[in-house]
């Protein structure tokens, strides 16, 4: 069997086209959605992500501003900027690109963002709302993964979902989202006894650990849906957490890297920004 390739790029493009229409309506009402991204320092991967986010905003008609701050920016300077952005009614979404340089306190910075502008869904208020299913902003990558799986039209309720990785940005929130969809969810991590055996039980396997080609053919149940969240640079090439060439021979459906989850993350960020503007 050869897996269906889930085309995240095409699905994200559809979502962005729909969003552009909504943005046009809001703009006609004098309420153009605005996203402000804060980038501190020179992390090369962060610079690439921020540029992609900015380009996608422009394409959809969303106002996008990027504050590029020097590596040596102080905590106080960064918090002052967040305070200004919180008070600016043209800024509907605030995103501080992570990771921050080591001398800065990420948690304090995230806590300073108004929850209603926290389009990343990282503020503890939004994290808590996600846990209890109370709305609020959901982290963009997990939201994109759920959307991708829904659009592959596989059932979720009652299925075994196995998540590899327990980060606050992907692993934990994606597990919560699939639990809310009535899946039976297992989270694996570096101390899990037999990760391959857990992975083989998955109807939907989500790999978000940041280890190139970790997931091999014999980790995957025939016909399973495999979602690869990894973005690993190996010899100048981007590879996922899944050994795509091997796993596509056994999976029912699989996301490529690049062109799978990545474009969905950006589409969900735009969606959150438009929602923030629409809420007023």
| 169 belongs to the binding site for ligand GUN (CB under 6 A) | yes
**Ranges within 3-32 binding ligand GUN (CB under 6 A):** none
Q: Does 149 bind ligand GUN (CB under 6 A)?
A: no
Between helices 140-151 and 171-180, what is the axis angle to 10°?
Answer: 40
6, 19, 96, 207: which one contacts ligand GUN (CB under 6 A)? 96
Query: Is 238 among the residues that bind ligand GUN (CB under 6 A)?
Result: no
Helix, strand, coil proportions of the chain in percent (round to 5)?
45, 15, 40
State yes or no: residue 98 binds ligand GUN (CB under 6 A).
yes
What is the smallest separation between the CB atom of 95 and ligand GUN, expressed in angstroms?
Answer: 5
Catalytic residue list contains 97: yes
Cβ 224 to ligand GUN shortest distance, Å: 25
In the complex, what is the shortest distance from the CB of residue 165 to ligand GUN, in angstroms, rounded to a whole number? Answer: 13
Q: Is residue 95 close enough to count as binding ligand GUN by CB under 6 A?
A: yes
54 catalytic residue (yes or no): no
Contact between 147 and ligand GUN (CB under 6 A)?
no
Q: 227 exposed, middle or buried (CB, 10 Å; 0-12, 13-18, 19+)? A: buried
**241 is annotated as an active-site residue:** no
Q: Sign of dihedral through CA atoms 50, 233, 221, 12?
A: positive
Secondary structure class of 202 (helix, strand, coil): coil
Question: Which one, 140 or 185, has the nearer CB to ligand GUN?
Answer: 140
Q: 18, 54, 75, 97: which one is catalytic?
A: 97
Rank residues 126 and 141 by Cβ distance to ligand GUN and give the closer one: 141
Dihedral of the CA atoms 6, 8, 11, 15 (nearest 10)? 150
How many Cβ atoms sit within 10 Å of the Cβ of residue 149? 26
Determine the distance from the C-alpha atom of residue 47 to the mean position of all C-alpha atoms in its chain, rounded to a whole number: 16
- Report CA dihedral (75, 121, 172, 109) to the nearest 10 degrees: 10
Catalytic residue ranges: 53, 97, 120
The contact set with ligand GUN (CB under 6 A) reads: 95-98, 120, 140-141, 169
């Amino acid at each position: 069997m050869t897996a269906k390739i889930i085309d995240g790029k095409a699905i994200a493009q559809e979502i962005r086209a729909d969003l552009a229409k909504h943005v046009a309506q809001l703009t006609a009402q004098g309420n153009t959605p605005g996203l402000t991204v804060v980038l501190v320092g020179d992390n090369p991967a962060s610079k690439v992500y921020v540029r992609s986010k900015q380009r996608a905003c422009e394409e959809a008609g969303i106002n996008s501003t990027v504050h590029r701050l020097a590596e040596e920016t102080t905590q106080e300077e960064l918090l002052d900027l967040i305070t200004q952005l919180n008070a600016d009614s043209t800024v509907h979404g605030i995103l501080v690109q992570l990771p921050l340089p080591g001398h800065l306190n990420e948690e304090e910075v995230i806590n300073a963002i108004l929850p209603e502008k926290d389009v990343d869904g990282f503020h503890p208020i939004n994290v808590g709302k996600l846990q209890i299913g109370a709305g609020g902003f959901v982290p963009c990558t997990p939201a994109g993964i759920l959307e991708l799986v829904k659009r592959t039209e596989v059932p979720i309720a009652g299925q075994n979902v196995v998540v590899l990785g327990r980060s606050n940005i992907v692993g934990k929130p994606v597990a919560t989202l699939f639990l809310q969809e009535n899946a039976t969810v297992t989270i694996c991590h570096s101390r899990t006894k037999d990760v391959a055996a857990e992975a083989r039980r998955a109807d939907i396997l989500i790999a978000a650990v940041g280890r190139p080609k970790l997931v091999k053919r014999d980790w995957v149940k025939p016909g399973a849906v495999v979602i690869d969240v990894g973005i690993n640079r190996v010899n100048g090439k981007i590879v996922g957490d899944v050994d795509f060439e091997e796993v596509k021979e056994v999976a029912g459906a699989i996301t490529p890297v690049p062109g799978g989850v990545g474009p969905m993350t950006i589409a969900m960020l735009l969606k959150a920004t438009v929602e923030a503007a629409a809420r007023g």
